[in-house]
Structure 1
Amino acid sequence: MFIQPWDAGLDEAEWQSWIAEGHDFGQLSVNGLPGHPPVVVPTHFTGDGTHLLIHLARPNPVWRTIEHDPNVTFTVIGDYAFIPGPWRAKSDTPPTDGVPTSYYAAVQFSCRAHIVDDPEAKADLLRRQLAHFQPDGDHAPVGADQPPYGRMLSGIRGLRLEVADVRAKFKYDDHKPVEHRAAVADRLTERGAGLDVPTARQQLRRLDRMGPWQP
């Protein structure tokens, strides 16, 4: 992932807070077997500090590739929007001369994957995931030796992704003048399509924290 200096995360707390806000769905990318393309799997995830926790169906073809090479990348993308060229045109040029772009936030985790096959360890992984996604506890107990989950554990395998490196990108035209960034955020809010509003919120958050771009 190419990151311009003005698009870089300001500190670890920035991307950690962004993930904690509910960005808990991403893509697991695994090197393919010799002669085959990489395998990419969309999935929810949770974390336990230094690991990302995932479970996938046992028939998933990703297992063979992980066993061949456990070095993987997990990518989370959100708060994205297309920015039309006229919104970015300089004041002394025709609006049609503006160059369009995309705004987005992305966090990439470089990891070493550890497969979880022990029934009790898989049950513990599921309990951690349910604690995140169903915090009200409105589900049956998850145990390796009791229904309904116990009999289904054989149909899944777990993954603990040991995080080795994190790269964060917040691409919101932070190198542009303050007035330009504020105006684009207003236009995004007014347009209100797709993820326009959360995209504007990210742009204003970065603007408030960064102010004018300083190389």
Structure 2
Amino acid sequence: MSNKSASFSIKNWSQDDQPREKLRDKGKTILSDAELVAILIGSGNKTESAVDLSKRILASVNNNLNALGKLSIKQLMEFNGIGEAKAISITAALELGRRRRLEDASASDKITSSRTVFTIMQPILGELPHEEFWILYLNNSNKILQKTQLSKGGITGTLVDVRLVLKNALEVGATSIILCHNHPSGTLKPSTSDKEITKKLKTAAESLDIKVLDHLIVTEKAYFSFADEELL
């Protein structure tokens, strides 16, 4: 490594500019997203410090960590100074963050509002590039007994096996269910198919005294609730 490139290694910066030491001495919350990513990659390239390179990577996704988490290892390696090992470190760290959010959401498993459903399901569905349809099975205290993926891919009425949904509801002792699926496009408007599925499941469930409490459409940052919009 040349002297020029060595100067861009974190350990050669002044103490105040070293993210690792800054985190140790001043706490993790004081660091910017770029400084945290810089700790992951350790060094930049011949012309950029690790922080400057991290800033450029974040700028490419409009400083959105969820969007950064969607980048593939190959896409990350397109940045000068990011090799396979660094790309893997970034991917692993962001995946741990996603799993942490999922665990935090699961810890609060009593449904009190549509916002609670979104908090639980966003880490599962919000960042997927394809559609998935899930059923939440609840007891009479509105606590989740089970979360089940019903289908993966495009959603149509023919893909919803009503008998399977209700059979599972009876097996787990559910008194109500919540439907949930994602729109990778980001649109929150329910399609005709979405409305038909909701009606189909609601009618079938009522015959067994099982309530359909809501149907949520989830995107990366927001949601649409059939119950809140009085479409149930």
Instruction: Tell me the TM-score normalised to structure 1 length.
Output: 0.23
Larger helix percent? 2
More strand by share: 1
Of the two structures, which has the highest relative contact order with CA contacts closer than 8 Å and spacing of 6 or more? 1
Could you say which structure has the larger radius of gyration?
2
